[in-house]
Structure 1
Amino acid sequence: MAEVLDIGSCDLEFKYNNEEHHTDLNGVDRLIVRRGQPFTLNLHLQSGTFQPLASTFQLIAETGPVPEEKWGTKATFSLSDVISKKCWSASTSCSHGNIVTLSICPSPAAPIGCYTLTLDQGPKVKLGEFVLLFNPWCERDVVYLEDEEMRKEYVLSQDGLIYRGNPTKVTILPWKFGQFEPGILDVCLRILDENPKHLKNPGKDCSGRRNAVYVTRVLSAMINCNGDKGVLAGNWSGDYEGGVAPTHWSSSVEILQEWRNNDCCEVCYGQCWVFAAVACTVSRALGIPCRVITNFESAHDTNQNLLIEYYYNMDRESLGEDSVWNFHVWVETWMKRPDLGPGYEGWQASDPTPQEKSDGVFCCGPVPLKAIKEGELTLKYDAPFVFAEVNADVVKYVKLEDGQEFKFDGSTTHVGQCISTKSVGRDSREDITHLYKYPEEKSFPLKICYCNYSSVITQDALIRLMAILIDSDTKELYNKTRTIVLEDPEIAIRILGEPKVKRKLTAEISLQNPLPEPLEDCTFSLDGANLTDGKAITETFGTVGPRETATVKIGFTPTCAGLRKLVVDFSSNKLSNIKGFKNVIIGK
């Protein structure tokens, strides 16, 4: 008869395991591990010793509200001589007196999520709980990313840069993804649990979480709140009553915290770059390599005919629904595509901004970049829509009162320019247009004076100009539109003191008023992962005269060593949402 282990306690070795699995930035107060990689635990026996031939038992790992073998959300496995990294497995790495050390390896294809671990030797003993994530460090995981510098950038980096503006004037928005900030991982897991597929069939949904394509598609739908309990409400009206302007945000953390604290009610408001940034945070938190992408002169094709058709009446009023945005932002996630076959692995485009429905839901992607570049539009998911965003032809028509239509302008090269993302390991822009399409035309800058737009400046600091030319000989009409991005003043940041963990530092921040008018209600806000204790520090300055410089000093105390990004936000009555940042290396 097999001997029953008399287990007193189980040590899940939080610190050691989390460091080995690159999850220690989440904290070391619970076990967070990645697929396809072993972790260890110690069983402390109250009496007796472990005898490999006499003591037999099984281990049970379960996830989801109703774990079942058929869904693959319940795994039962026995001890073996050596660990297998192809499936759930376990072995004893050593045994000393009353301590038995087990090594356990989750399947590289297991569903991600919260698990319970139980030892079954007739009577069952709950050993503890752990969180299982995707593993870009594991070759057998579909999200495996070979390059370590890319893993640091696209999985571990908590800060980034988002590009906006237009092709002739690209502006930079620093963003705190903060995927390792306290509580954020739990918010990301809750997003999965609040999705309609989970509410309808929890077992099937939890089983689907083994598939990075499935999870990415769920996130694309749940980052926007259209038709579900998603995170963000979009608003492009210019009226942001009941919330804040999309330009207010510079961190995913406060958005996700607000969604959680308000019982999963939508956060108001977001636009494309906010949707994409939050999607990037959640993807990285769950272990899927992700980066934020900006497409300039981005098309929105409503009828999937790969044309952007502008219809106008004789008064130049728009009659159609197609449009071209001066910029649009989405995300790319890195994964293999076994559902599509070889050759489609790598970066996949997905778009959480609610535009058109896909399979009845406001989501888009993931679709391989290779499919977009080669025009393989039958591949899933939503290849025609993404292809049109970067490749659609523009055609313009005048529609007369009698119903006649006349083409008066168009372009085959205007859409999809200067597609951009942050470079790996550097605060510089990488142009990745070549990954989406083959080379096209060049763009030229246009400048106007402040006095020409001061009374009509928008919150996004954009100006759209339209010019119409009529050829007096041929009677042909030509139309061109350009969007001009106003240049923000630079925020200068100087760190006073020696940067070390738990040593108070001071940031000296200054900004020169570029306007010939005073700025009132001037406020600086300071934020940074592991620098400001998870929340922004605000300092009000008051009034800054024309061409004068505002300078403040704000103290903060770093909590973690390493390279950190300090983000500064400036707002006033005339200039707002001005962003600046500085990299700070915090010593131990």
Structure 2
Amino acid sequence: MSEILFDNLRAENNRRRAADNREIIFMEEEDASNDIDAVEGLPKVISVDLQARSNALKCNCERFELVERKDGRSVIIRRGATLTLDVTLNTSPDLKTDHKLGLIFSFGQNPNVPNGTQVKLDVTGEQTFNPDTSLWDVRLVTQTGDTLTLEVHVPAHVMVGIWSLSIEASLQSNPKDKHVYQPEETMYILFNPWNKDDDVYMPDDEERNEYVLNDIGKIWRGNWRKNKARDWNYGQFDDAVLPACMYLMENAGLRPENRGDVVLVSRAISKMVNANDESGVVYGRWDGDYKDGKGPSHWTGSIAILEQYMTRGRPVKYGQCWVFSGVVNTVCRALGIPCRPVTNMRSAHDTDMSLTIDKFLNEKGTHILDISEKVWNFHVWNDVWMARHDLPEGNGGWQAIDATPQERSNGIFQCGPASQTAIKFGRTELNYDVNFLVGEVNADVITWQQDPKEKLGFRKIRENVDDVGRELITKAPGGMAFGDQDKQIINDLYKAPEGTEANKQMLKTAASKSRTGRVAFDFPDQPVEDVEFTLEDIEEVPIGDDFSVTATAKNMSDSTRTIWMKICSSSEYYTGVRAERIKWVANNITLKAGEEEQFTLHVSYAEYFDKLVEYGMMMVFSVCHVEETKQVWFKDDAFQVKKPMVDIELPSTAAAGKSMLVSLSFTNPIDRPLTRCSVTVDGPGLTRPKTVQLKDVAAKGEMRYEMKVYPKRGGRRTIIAAFNSRELVDLTGSQNVDVIEA
């Protein structure tokens, strides 16, 4: 499939070049009846060797599979580097007195010199480069008879994508008659984080290796108290990926001359990976209904998604934030932009940009009127590394971009790049979408109660300043470690510690620039009330087990208090949207001064299992009302039902090119069979993504499946598995293996 993709892309590129150049041989005279061979002594280019392998090696591009294709190599280099090529002519050229040789590099459909999408270089025989590295230049390295070895300096600011090359040969005495040669190879020029003059320059070797070259990684999901990583195959070197990236850039509406600006390119990526506005890669869906596509939990990496997108010519169904982030990471790393997924545990979706998440209770405080704004259990976006010349000094480095279609930015579902520094200090006036990111990591959660005596009809009864942005997680640089050993908490990059004066001042500064924010933060807090309430926290519940949750009321006053208490449980999507109510209990209690009483909700496995949705997220909340003082207390808590991991058994070592047995297994934890079972296996350098349909798994029985894979490359490799069925979805596992080159 990927071979067809590449061939189609190359054919399209050749068609464009033919349309631009019209003829392979140019005769400036109107009367072109004389054959070009009749021009005595006219030099011709016989062949060009673009040295795909050696050019890729010196640019850290040798792992791209397109470089090694036997049916037509691609030349992949990075800007700021040099391109070496051998040009062979039909004669031994004398560039000083007799012959002219010119190189023309073109980008886009209508290249021209003024906007930088076309460059014309004369090979004069000069053997040194122009000291001004901001300019294209060519130098003669050696000449052996009719073969010239040339080096071309590619500036660090040029457009990123497919460039075409034409080579013109003529006589100095008759420059109008010339022979033009066009190499068949497709030439990709990428961003260069190794070059100090490139805006994506990253000085640390270990970080470059992780954020540009690592083709597998981890994306954390779950609840902030208990979360785990899911391995993801970025596969940026697969031969389907670069053609897909070029297709995305073509469809992004980004002018060719702007495709060297990493700010605009990364913003375009955030737009094009979702399919809401343009012909983007992935449709998002969060309601669990995936019958006309593939559920997000079935994906193990980006390769299958991008390949399906290209071959079918339409967006892929379906993804969610962590899938969008995985694809963004692939596209960015393929293009040379340092990139990493970031998971925000307890992520606010602030629709009105007030920097608050508002919950509304009725006048008695016994029922919830509205929670239209949500706090997601987790949300995943990406950090990209770049200079920001468009912002005040100090705002470069990591920038947040988000392809999940939550809110429109400039009328389109896109987000970022937003400077981490700007987010941390509340600089919401800076581009792009800083205000939304500040809300995601730092919004206050405010509970309001209906009160006709108040000017706005509600009074603030509770403000939680530390519920949002509990943990911001990414994978640390280095190899794939077991479990959470490579988990890196980066809260300090996005926010000052909760409760500190710096954090409070940042929120006030940011809120002061928003009308809705001023209303929420200026509203007076209510005085502390005299009954103390707590709700038990639950980290996780193994699937198949019952659970209980307890609320406690303690009367801290000198008088009797009459209290109405309610505890409710429901399943919910990870976005904070309630799926189904499971069970609730309510009771009236009377507490004398100093007394304490507990109130418990018991939920059995039979009561909750059929109401679970993907990822097994659960929500419990308690609402309490004190009759004498009208005190209202509200608390909610999310946790996750734990599913088994897929155990992967591999040999300790394997040999490249030889079969390796992979054994997958787990024990069904529920008292019913698993039907419509499938498993997807994936791993860069081991196997391309494969999905296999499996037989049913008996109730409390064992699932076991064996398959052979054929490692392609040596080194430490990781294999990923994802099991899904009608009854249980999103069971995953991974394992490392050392592959020895044969």
TM-score for the superposition, normalised by structure 2: 0.74
Provide the residue aligned with 1:112 in structure 2.
160
Provide the residue aligned with 2:81 in structure 1.
37
Provide the residue aligned with 2:12 in structure 1.
none
Provide the residue aligned with 1:409 in structure 2.
462
CA distance in 2, matches of 1:52, 1:499: 57
Provide the residue aligned with 1:464 in structure 2.
619
Provide the residue aligned with 2:298 in structure 1.
248
CA distance in 2, matches of 1:538, 1:565: 19
Q: Once structures 1 and 2 are overlaid, which stretch shifts more, 39-48 or 323-332? A: 39-48
| Match runs of 1:462-541 below 5 Å | 462-496=617-651, 498-532=653-687, 534-538=688-692, 540-541=694-695
The question of 1:96 aligning with 2:144 is answered yes
CA distance in 1, matches of 2:289, 2:726: 17
The question of 1:367 aligning with 2:418 is answered yes
Residue number among 330, 338, 353 corresponding to 1:281 in the alignment? 330
Deviations 1:333-362 (A, max 9, x none): 011111114312211001111111112211
Tell whether the 8 Å contact from 2:244 to 2:306 is kept in structure 1 after alignment.
yes
TM-score for the superposition, normalised by structure 1: 0.93
**Taking structure 1 as reference, are residues 370 and 4 closer, same or farther at Cα in structure 2, changes over 3 Å only?**
farther
Provide the residue aligned with 2:199 in structure 1.
142
CA distance in 2, matches of 1:420, 1:255: 24
Deviations 1:231-267 (A, max 9, x none): 111112232232222222221111111211222x221
Provide the residue aligned with 2:57 in structure 1.
19
Residue number among 489, 504, 521 corresponding to 1:431 in the alignment? 489
SS of the residue 2:90 aligns to: strand
The question of 1:126 aligning with 2:181 is answered yes
The code of the aligned residue for 1:25 comes to R
Shift of 1:518: 4.1
The code of the aligned residue for 2:113 comes to E
Residue number among 706, 709, 723 corresponding to 1:556 in the alignment? 709
CA distance in 2, matches of 1:124, 1:383: 54
Q: Which of structures 1 and 2 has the bigger CA Rg?
A: 2
The question of 1:303 aligning with 2:347 is answered no
Residue number among 85, 103, 127 corresponding to 1:81 in the alignment? 127
The question of 1:71 aligning with 2:71 is answered no
Tell whether the 8 Å contact from 2:347 to 2:376 is kept in structure 1 after alignment.
yes
Shift of 1:320: 5.3
The code of the aligned residue for 2:664 comes to I
Tell whether the 8 Å contact from 1:298 to 1:415 is kept in structure 2 after alignment.
yes
The code of the aligned residue for 1:299 comes to A
Tell whether the 8 Å contact from 1:569 to 1:580 is kept in structure 2 after alignment.
yes
Tell whether the 8 Å contact from 1:232 to 1:269 is kept in structure 2 after alignment.
yes
Deviations 1:479-530 (A, max 9, x none): 1111112223122222137411111111122212333444445443321122
The question of 1:394 aligning with 2:445 is answered yes
Q: Once structures 1 and 2 are overlaid, which stretch shifts more, 95-104 or 320-329? A: 320-329
Tell whether the 8 Å contact from 1:50 to 1:95 is kept in structure 2 after alignment.
no
Tell whether the 8 Å contact from 1:496 to 1:508 is kept in structure 2 after alignment.
no
Tell whether the 8 Å contact from 2:45 to 2:179 is kept in structure 1 after alignment.
no
SS of the residue 2:201 aligns to: coil
Shift of 1:401: 9.0
Deviations 1:409-437 (A, max 9, x none): 22111111110001111432100011001
The code of the aligned residue for 2:713 comes to C
Deviations 1:92-113 (A, max 9, x none): 1111122110111211100011
CA distance in 2, matches of 1:513, 1:519: 8
CA distance in 1, matches of 2:440, 2:164: 44
The code of the aligned residue for 1:101 comes to T
The code of the aligned residue for 1:6 comes to K
The question of 1:354 aligning with 2:390 is answered no
**Taking structure 1 as reference, are residues 83 and 544 closer, same or farther at Cα in structure 2, changes over 3 Å only?**
farther
The code of the aligned residue for 1:543 comes to V
**Taking structure 1 as reference, are residues 519 and 401 closer, same or farther at Cα in structure 2, changes over 3 Å only?**
farther
Q: Which runs of 5+ in 1 are unaligned?
A: 199-204
CA distance in 2, matches of 1:222, 1:537: 26
Provide the residue aligned with 2:727 in structure 1.
574
**Taking structure 1 as reference, are residues 5 and 584 closer, same or farther at Cα in structure 2, changes over 3 Å only?**
farther
Shift of 1:137: 1.2
Shift of 1:371: 0.9
Residue number among 261, 264, 276 corresponding to 1:214 in the alignment? 264
Tell whether the 8 Å contact from 1:523 to 1:538 is kept in structure 2 after alignment.
yes
Shift of 1:444: 5.8
Tell whether the 8 Å contact from 1:235 to 1:269 is kept in structure 2 after alignment.
yes
Provide the residue aligned with 2:34 in structure 1.
none
Provide the residue aligned with 2:284 in structure 1.
234
Residue number among 321, 328, 339 corresponding to 1:290 in the alignment? 339
Provide the residue aligned with 2:221 in structure 1.
164
The question of 1:193 aligning with 2:250 is answered yes
The code of the aligned residue for 2:168 comes to D
Tell whether the 8 Å contact from 1:234 to 1:269 is kept in structure 2 after alignment.
yes
**Taking structure 1 as reference, are residues 274 and 312 closer, same or farther at Cα in structure 2, changes over 3 Å only?**
farther
CA distance in 2, matches of 1:308, 1:258: 38
CA distance in 1, matches of 2:135, 2:41: 27
SS of the residue 2:303 aligns to: helix
CA distance in 2, matches of 1:516, 1:545: 5
The code of the aligned residue for 2:703 comes to A
Q: Once structures 1 and 2 are overlaid, which stretch shifts more, 44-53 or 379-388? A: 44-53
Query: How many residue pairs get matched?
Result: 577
Tell whether the 8 Å contact from 1:40 to 1:101 is kept in structure 2 after alignment.
yes
Tell whether the 8 Å contact from 1:45 to 1:98 is kept in structure 2 after alignment.
yes
The code of the aligned residue for 1:120 comes to E
Shift of 1:178: 1.1
* Percent of paired sites with the same residue: 32
Shift of 1:134: 0.6
CA distance in 2, matches of 1:528, 1:186: 20
CA distance in 1, matches of 2:494, 2:652: 46
Provide the residue aligned with 2:472 in structure 1.
419
SS of the residue 2:655 aligns to: coil
Shift of 1:50: 4.5
CA distance in 2, matches of 1:500, 1:231: 35
CA distance in 2, matches of 1:312, 1:115: 60
RMSD over aligned CA atoms reads: 2.4
Shift of 1:149: 1.6
Shift of 1:51: 4.2
SS of the residue 1:526 aligns to: strand
CA distance in 2, matches of 1:445, 1:435: 29
Tell whether the 8 Å contact from 1:499 to 1:505 is kept in structure 2 after alignment.
yes
The code of the aligned residue for 1:10 comes to V
Q: Which runs of 5+ in 2 are unaligned?
A: 1-39, 68-72, 170-174, 500-535, 547-603
SS of the residue 1:118 aligns to: strand
Tell whether the 8 Å contact from 2:43 to 2:179 is kept in structure 1 after alignment.
no
